[in-house]
Structure 1
Amino acid sequence: MKFKSLYNSERFLKIIFGLSLFIVLVMGGLAYRYIKELSDSFDEVQEAYQLHIELEKLLSALKDAESGKRGYIISKDSTFLEPLWVSGSELDLSLQRLKALTQGNPDQEEKIADLEIKIDNSLRIFEKTLQLAQKNEIESAEFISAFKEGRQNMNSVRFKVLEITTHESDLLGTKKERSSKSLSNAPMVVYYVLIFSLLILLLIYLQISKNLKILKEKNELLETFKESTTQSEIISKHGNWIWNIDDNTFEYSDNLYRLLGEEPQSFEPTLENFIAFTHPEDLDKLTEQVNKMMENEDLPFIHYRIIQKSGSIKHFKAYGKVLIDSDGHKKLLGTTADITDEIENYRLIEERNLELERNNKELASFNYVASHDLQEPLRKIQTFISRLEDKEQENLTDNGKLYIKRIKSSSARMRSLIDDLLQFSRTNKSEEAFEDSNINILLETAKHDLVEIISDTRARISSDSIPSMKVIPFQIKQLFSNLISNSLKYRRENVAPVISIRYSETHASEVPNLKYSKHSRYHTITIKDNGIGFDQEYAEQIFTLFSRLHNKNEYSGTGIGLSICKKIVENHNGYITAEGYPNQGSTFIVYLPITS
């Protein structure tokens, strides 16, 4: 994996490419060396051949001179002496060439010098015998002695020439053997080096081709990303800009021009042209921020307004951060967003908050009226009806007694409705503080408040031990009270109520219909009874305010109790569900988050 990463790296490719160039240069050097050796070998052969020729010329000139001398001695014809006079100059030229050809070779230079002495002796003997022949002293002892000496000297010249040519041939053979051995490996070495270089270049080509393909794909992705970024800028109403700090130039994205109400790239992207759109009231503030940006090379969040040519005023928010690229160049990358809609929404929220505050005050006034002004005349109605029933009972007709009975029932229902509404409006967690509470005590308190109806119905209530929780105590007591009251109220006729309260812990993923939660686990409290139950299709409806599944003549109630339960649970960031089966009972499950 590490080698593969190295192989794909740009540095590795550069190293391999440099190595390939080095090998090619070495191969070129080797080729040059072998060619130079061939050239040198050719020159040496040429010189050896030239040396042989000059020696042959020299030896031929000496032979011609001796033949001419003999012809003259026999015939006394002077024309035979012409080769002798010509050979002298030829011998001098040949000796000069031989010295030049053997220069730098001490052995051969010594042999040439020795040869030159022998040739001079031959020429001297030629001249001596020629003089004696011209004097007709051919039969003299001196001539015979000189003639024999000339023949011996001529043989020594031949031997010396042979010695020189043999030595040169030996040298040429040694050089040829060394050169042949070196040159015999040259084609193979050059071939292998060439193959190796081609393989490396092929690998580089394949990797470069792969990199080009990847680069093409990345360029396509960049084009897609650029188009996506452009669309994102348009949708999110923001534009990007770049301040090149080193050369103090700016670059604006197309959508930044659109935010200003202009066509993309319709003016030069300079700071002066951009500031020209600034709202006069924000001009000094923006100028000060820009000067700080130039000085500190940083731009924190700033807010300002601009005026488009159409006259529309827009609210902008800008932010910038410095980025240093691989070449050490500093750039401040900035983004500018159109937050006009946010400002308008904030203003709308403020207006709605004010409206909500007024509604809360009106609700507080309603609570006061419900708890005092409405209940006061209701109490008087109930008081006068009670007096009328006590003192005028005998004077009332049957219809009158019926009317009074109905008035008493309606006023009692009216009083219960006002009390429940007041209780519902007061179920607000902001009015109560969360505190660590013993849930078992709160449950017993709720049962104590209902002791009379529990006793009258001969109800049996069993419960598990519930751990302490951080709750609003009053509301949790109210929750237990309302749920137990609901089970007692909707009991089956001639069947004693049996209510069981169980506790467990539940993971958030197991809570039904819970779409999102910041808590992982929940306290689970289950209240189950054996009452009349309900059809499951009404499981959500029963928690709706004023919702009733039964006629008020069948079962008393205002349809607010379970709505209060739901509001209390939601105040605790919990969740409540219900399950029912007609004539079998109901089950209410309360989920309260486990907080640390």
Structure 2
Amino acid sequence: MNILSFYRSPIFLRIVFVLSIAIIFFIAAVTYKQINALTNSSNQVLNTYNVAVELEKMYTYINDLETAKRDYIASNDQTIKFAIKIHQKEIEKALLKVEKITKGNKTQREYLKILRSLIKHKYYIVNSILAKDYSNGILGSTELNNDFLSGKKVMYDIRKVINKMITIEESLLNKRNSIYKDNQKTTPLYIYLTLLITLVLLVLSYVKMSKDLNNIKSYNNELLVSNESSNLSEIVGNYGTWQLNLDTNKYTFSDNEYRLLGYEPKAFKANLDDFMKHIHPDDYEMVKEVTLKMIYQEVLPSFTYRIYKTNGELRHFRASGRVVTKSEERILIGTTTDVTEVIIANQEIEERNRILESNNKELQAFNYVASHDLQEPLRKIETFISRLIDKDLDNLSESGQQYLSRINAAAGRMRILIDDLLQFSRTTRAEQVFMKTDLNELLENAKQEQAQLIEEKKAIINNETLPELEVVPFQIQQLFSNLINNSIKYSKENIPPVINISITEVDTESDEKINSITNTKFYKIIFSDNGIGFEQEYADKIFTLFTRLHNKDEYAGTGIGLAICKKIIENHKGYIFANSEIDRGSTFTIYLPKEI
């Protein structure tokens, strides 16, 4: 075995390791006895030095406080008060630190009491100055001079006390340095102990290095798997990652970042210029502006742009990123996602929405026009029926009169139906102007609309004061009118209807009906009556267009009124619920958002 082979062999490492143990053990035996004494004397010297340093720092802070006071007198700058408070805090911290490290020195503790008293007096002088106003020359020059010189004596006294304390520490420093030098003569024993500890650490380190090496191998395997998993995720997720070192302006692209552009991984050196060649001409300036903002302001908000792949295919990309600090280097980490399918899907949805909106407008127009056109023949029918009743009713047979009466009633119902359809069409049209309106006025207007019915039925309406809200006024008035009409229409026979209207302010946490719907704050308006009621199973069905729970001969109506109410509430991004029980009345609960 030659020398080089022996050096590389494990036997050489073992021999060196054993020799090191022997040498370290010998030196440790020599230094063992003196280590404690050397440590104690070293700490005492350091403690003495720290006291002197802290005292000087304290005086510096006090001097800064004096300077800030004079600056305030000279400039009357109110922001200096904040600096003065900071100086006072620094003085207190330094004072507490000196008290801590001189805890065992009785003489120094006495001087600290004097020093604290002087500092409190200094605070008093400074606070007196801060209480004055030096703007606009309010104070005379003599008073200004006095304020400038105030505190000079206390500064002198503080300096004097600090000097005495430093002198005491210097005396202690000389004594402790002498002890320290004596202990240094026996430092071989300390060295020996140190090397003994080093020996133990060396053994532990050797074991640790062996374990770490195995761990590193394991971590490298896991990292390899993780990298492969990340690469696979990028391929499946159709996105790539990139990094920009903001200090060196160097880019790094992941493999899939190249694939998104139609290249094989590492096809070119990662850089901005080659990437920008693929940007759609219409998006080039926008991407360039965002890129410059990203580099100089370290901001990369999410944005979408178009690119051409190497084969000429147009794709939509979305980029985003954030800055991280790694080993004092600023790295912008970003992702590039191919969102072409999402963009195309959104465009298709938007196109369908446009078609749907167009169809809705056509349906609304048809409903509105058809309802108007139906009124003309209905008007003629009603006119001829009226003439027949006025002139020829007596000439008709009894059955003919009954037929004519039924025709007249049917025409009346058709008139009501057309009016309700027109009203429903009006609530579904897009032209809705919201304005801040007093709901009390709308409620009063609704009562006036139903005044004849209220008087006939001797209805009693009790209501609390309603708020002002951003609403479509005519719709909310129609809502109130329909609900009042509905309660009076379905009242009990020979019992005056009583309608109670109450209001409370609620949020999603306090109301179980809407706690899973939204997090908006609402006004909850409740219409309750003492009418005939209905089965609760129909609570949702009654808001459907043309739904009636009673025979038309028993109760007049078209089944459109509550459907209009629901549509009005939906227009205002609110909610409406019904609760009822046969012969115990009905309750309609409305939720209108405080802000739309």
- TM-score over 0.5 (shorter chain): yes
Q: Distance in 1 between matches of 2:194 and 2:413?
A: 109
Cα offsets for 1:521-555 (capped at 9, x unmatched):
42221111111211111111111222222232332
Superposition pairs of residues 464-483 of structure 1, within 5 angstroms? 464-483=464-483
Q: Distance in 2 between matches of 1:588 and 1:212?
A: 74
Long gaps (5+) in structure 1: 1-21, 35-184
Q: Structure 1 residues 560, 229: closer, same or farther in 2, change over 3 A?
A: farther
Contact in 2 for aligned 1:242/1:332 (Cα 8 Å)? yes
Contact in 2 for aligned 1:23/1:193 (Cα 8 Å)? no
SS at match of 2:590: strand
Match of 2:451 in 1: 451
SS at match of 2:477: helix
Query: Does structure 1 residue 488 correspond to structure 2 residue 478?
Result: no
Q: Distance in 2 between matches of 1:349 and 1:504?
A: 40
Cα offsets for 1:239-268 (capped at 9, x unmatched):
2123567887654334435545677x4845
Q: Distance in 2 between matches of 1:414 and 1:428?
A: 21
Contact in 1 for aligned 2:535/2:582 (Cα 8 Å)? yes
Match of 1:318 in 2: 319
In the TM superposition, residue 324 of structure 1 has moved relative to its aligned partner by 5.5
Match of 2:498 in 1: 498
Partner amino acid, structure 1, of 2:351: E
SS at match of 1:568: helix
Cα offsets for 1:94-135 (capped at 9, x unmatched):
xxxxxxxxxxxxxxxxxxxxxxxxxxxxxxxxxxxxxxxxxx
Match of 1:240 in 2: 241
Match of 1:419 in 2: 419
Alignment TM-score, normalising by the size of structure 1: 0.58
Cα offsets for 1:49-77 (capped at 9, x unmatched):
xxxxxxxxxxxxxxxxxxxxxxxxxxxxx
Cα offsets for 1:153-172 (capped at 9, x unmatched):
xxxxxxxxxxxxxxxxxxxx
In the TM superposition, residue 369 of structure 1 has moved relative to its aligned partner by 1.4
Cα offsets for 1:351-398 (capped at 9, x unmatched):
234324533542453355145322122111211122123222233334
Q: Distance in 2 between matches of 1:293 and 1:465?
A: 54
Contact in 1 for aligned 2:31/2:191 (Cα 8 Å)? no
Q: Structure 1 residues 248, 487: closer, same or farther in 2, change over 3 A?
A: closer
SS at match of 1:393: helix
Contact in 2 for aligned 1:315/1:339 (Cα 8 Å)? yes
In the TM superposition, residue 427 of structure 1 has moved relative to its aligned partner by 1.7
Q: Structure 1 residues 583, 186: closer, same or farther in 2, change over 3 A?
A: closer
Contact in 1 for aligned 2:251/2:270 (Cα 8 Å)? yes
Q: Structure 1 residues 27, 202: closer, same or farther in 2, change over 3 A?
A: closer
In the TM superposition, residue 490 of structure 1 has moved relative to its aligned partner by 1.4
Query: Does structure 1 residue 512 correspond to structure 2 residue 512?
Result: yes
Q: Distance in 2 between matches of 1:546 and 1:220?
A: 70
Q: Distance in 2 between matches of 1:200 and 1:411?
A: 107
Contact in 1 for aligned 2:524/2:590 (Cα 8 Å)? yes
Match of 1:383 in 2: 383
SS at match of 1:508: coil
Match of 1:531 in 2: 531
Query: Does structure 1 residue 564 correspond to structure 2 residue 564?
Result: yes
Match of 2:362 in 1: 362
Cα offsets for 1:190-227 (capped at 9, x unmatched):
99667755676789899999999999999899789867
Cα offsets for 1:5-60 (capped at 9, x unmatched):
xxxxxxxxxxxxxxxxx9999866456899xxxxxxxxxxxxxxxxxxxxxxxxxx
CA RMSD of aligned residues (A): 4.7
Match of 2:337 in 1: 337
Q: Distance in 1 between matches of 2:369 and 2:499?
A: 37
Q: Distance in 1 between matches of 2:543 and 2:214?
A: 63
SS at match of 1:526: strand
Partner amino acid, structure 2, of 1:369: V
Contact in 1 for aligned 2:460/2:499 (Cα 8 Å)? yes
Aligned residue pair count: 421
Match of 2:104 in 1: none
Contact in 1 for aligned 2:28/2:194 (Cα 8 Å)? no
Partner amino acid, structure 1, of 2:438: N
Match of 2:308 in 1: 306
Partner amino acid, structure 1, of 2:541: Q
Moved more, 235-244 or 208-217: 208-217
Contact in 2 for aligned 1:239/1:255 (Cα 8 Å)? yes
Match of 1:438 in 2: 438
Superposition pairs of residues 180-329 of structure 1, within 5 angstroms? 196-197=197-198, 233=234, 236-243=237-244, 250-257=251-258, 259-260=260-261, 265=265, 267=267, 270=270, 278=278, 301=303, 303-307=305-309, 313-319=314-320, 325-326=326-327, 328=329
Q: Structure 1 residues 476, 312: closer, same or farther in 2, change over 3 A?
A: same
SS at match of 1:577: strand
Partner amino acid, structure 1, of 2:465: S
Partner amino acid, structure 2, of 1:541: K
SS at match of 2:500: strand
Match of 2:575 in 1: 575
Relative contact order higher in (CA < 8 Å, ≥ 6 apart): 2
Long gaps (5+) in structure 2: 1-19, 33-185
In the TM superposition, residue 586 of structure 1 has moved relative to its aligned partner by 0.6
SS at match of 2:395: coil
SS at match of 1:427: helix
Contact in 2 for aligned 1:501/1:526 (Cα 8 Å)? yes
Q: Structure 1 residues 316, 503: closer, same or farther in 2, change over 3 A?
A: closer
Q: Distance in 1 between matches of 2:529 and 2:306?
A: 64
In the TM superposition, residue 484 of structure 1 has moved relative to its aligned partner by 0.9
Cα offsets for 1:259-313 (capped at 9, x unmatched):
45677x484564599759948867976996799699969796461233475x754
Q: Distance in 1 between matches of 2:22 and 2:282?
A: 68
Contact in 2 for aligned 1:298/1:320 (Cα 8 Å)? no
Identity of aligned residues (%): 46
Q: Distance in 2 between matches of 1:256 and 1:497?
A: 73
Q: Structure 1 residues 293, 518: closer, same or farther in 2, change over 3 A?
A: closer
Q: Distance in 2 between matches of 1:379 and 1:365?
A: 21
Q: Distance in 1 between matches of 2:557 and 2:245?
A: 75
Q: Distance in 2 between matches of 1:233 and 1:242?
A: 15
Q: Distance in 1 between matches of 2:297 and 2:499?
A: 72
In the TM superposition, residue 431 of structure 1 has moved relative to its aligned partner by 3.2
Q: Structure 1 residues 431, 365: closer, same or farther in 2, change over 3 A?
A: closer
Q: Structure 1 residues 390, 217: closer, same or farther in 2, change over 3 A?
A: farther
Q: Distance in 1 between matches of 2:363 and 2:477?
A: 24
Contact in 2 for aligned 1:306/1:316 (Cα 8 Å)? no
Q: Structure 1 residues 189, 312: closer, same or farther in 2, change over 3 A?
A: closer
Q: Structure 1 residues 440, 319: closer, same or farther in 2, change over 3 A?
A: closer
Q: Distance in 2 between matches of 1:322 and 1:192?
A: 48
Partner amino acid, structure 1, of 2:567: K
Q: Distance in 1 between matches of 2:213 and 2:538?
A: 66
Contact in 2 for aligned 1:302/1:319 (Cα 8 Å)? no
In the TM superposition, residue 579 of structure 1 has moved relative to its aligned partner by 0.6
Match of 1:554 in 2: 554
SS at match of 1:552: coil
In the TM superposition, residue 578 of structure 1 has moved relative to its aligned partner by 0.9
Q: Structure 1 residues 245, 484: closer, same or farther in 2, change over 3 A?
A: closer
SS at match of 1:417: helix
